[in-house]
Amino acid sequence: MTNQSLQQEISQLEADFCFALSDPTRILLLYTLNESPRNVTELTLELSITQPTASRHLKVLRERGLVRPVKQGTTVTYHLADARLIQALDLMRAVMRERLAHRASLMEELQEAN
């Protein structure tokens, strides 16, 4: 494998992973599943989303390995694949909060200067 093809593969993996985390509903699904495994019906009720919406988002998360389905009879229960995902999400949220706070303070300083 050449260096360029390896870079392309890594870029694609990163893009797929970032795509999975690019939707607020998918992030809420991950946080909810971190509390405990749930089936689609439980997720739809808890998050106030439709069944097709939940299924579509779960498919994205499942295809990228972020959740894993466990079939119990006719029910499929979804589990968070790795608890470190929540740690990563929490870290990203903290960084974004700090950036927003910094921007807000810059805007206040600018307004006070004028």
73 lies in the same domain as 92: no
76 lies in the same domain as 87: no
114 lies in the same domain as 61: no
58 lies in the same domain as 98: no
93 lies in the same domain as 46: no
- Which residues span the domain enclosing 101? 83-114
Q: Are 77 and 38 in contact (CB under 8 A)?
A: yes
Q: 17 vs 75, which has greater pLDDT? A: 75
Residue 73 backbone zone (phi > 0: left; psi -120 to 50: alpha; other: beta): left
| pLDDT tens digits, 26-64 | 999 999 999 999 999 999 999 999 999 999 999 999 999
63 lies in the same domain as 87: no
61 lies in the same domain as 105: no
> Can you read off the two tokens belonging to residue 3?
């260096």
68 lies in the same domain as 110: no
pTM of the model: 0.79
| pLDDT tens digits, 68-90 | 999 999 999 999 999 999 999 99
Question: CA-to-CA distance for 87 and 105, rounded, in angstroms?
Answer: 27
Count the domains in the chain: 2
Instruction: Give the SS3 label for residue 17.
Output: helix
CATH code for position 60:
1.10.10.10
74 lies in the same domain as 91: no
**36-65 burial code (b ≥16 CB/10 A, e <16):** ebbebebbbeebebeeeebeebbebbbebe
